Amino acid sequence: MSKVYNVNLENPSELVLEGKRQRIAGHFANIIEELGLDLTDPSIKDTPARVAKMLVNETCNGLFSEPPVITTFPLDENTSRELVIIENIPFSSLCEHHFQPFIGTATIAYLPNDRVMGLSKGARVLDYFASRPQIQERLTNEVAQYLFKHLNAKGVFIMIHAEHFCMKVRGVKKHNSSTITTAILGEINKTEVLSSIQLARK
């Protein structure tokens, strides 16, 4: 029942991913059948392949890819070593407890030592760790630890604000609930970061 994708035979890693897509599609076809749905229905027959492609290529791609390289630029002696804050970075991830999405935004702040990073790199790090089954608390800490290590920063602060569909569409079904998590590493003041964000919004 699974769809056959065009595969680059000269790329061993793509062959591995294709194998994963084929096996996941087969497993998901079994789930659909157990639910009593008709796999010959034109609307459903390609669903196993679509789900497999989504999991391997998108929502869980961080499990099968290398972490991003962080491009940094040296600060000269005349450049201030003040806070750098990047806020409202959108992301989506997959709750590992019920395989429902959680979506939200992240704020990344760091106190540079002798280098600053390209502004897009924080978002790439966030996407990498979000592209796998996750919990929000771990995601927050993984982003903080990775940036703290690779930036050689004096301090890093991460705040993630997210809505969890496992709370929206099942269980307690609290549609307007959201969760905020933070991680702080090194010499950085949480109050100063939050005050700077509030000041910038005025």
Check residue 40 and give left, alpha or beta (phi > 0: left; psi -120 to 50: alpha): alpha
161 catalytic per annotation: no
95 catalytic per annotation: yes
Q: What b-and-e string marks burial along 115-142, b requiring 16 or more CB atoms within 10 Å of the CB?
A: ebbeeebbbebbbbbbbbebebeebbbb
Catalytic residue among 14, 87, 98, 161: 98
Catalytic residue among 58, 82, 97, 187: 97
Catalytic residue among 18, 134, 136, 142: 136
166 catalytic per annotation: yes
- Check: CB of residue 21 under 8 Å from CB of residue 5: yes
Q: Quote the radius of gyration of the chain (alpha carbons, Å).
A: 21
Instruction: State how far Cα 142 lies from the chain centre.
Output: 10
Catalytic residue among 100, 161, 163, 166: 166
145 catalytic per annotation: no
User: Which segments of the chain does DSSP mark as H helices, in order?
Assistant: 12-34, 47-54, 119-130, 136-151, 165-168, 190-201
Which positions ≥6 away from 39 have C-beta within 8 Å? 1, 29, 32, 33, 45, 48
* Distance between start and end Cα atoms, the chain: 56
Catalytic residue among 60, 95, 134, 142: 95
Which positions ≥6 away from 3 have C-beta within 8 Å? 25, 46, 49
60 catalytic per annotation: no
Catalytic residue among 82, 96, 137, 187: 96
58 catalytic per annotation: no
Which residues are catalytic, by number? 95-98, 136, 164, 166
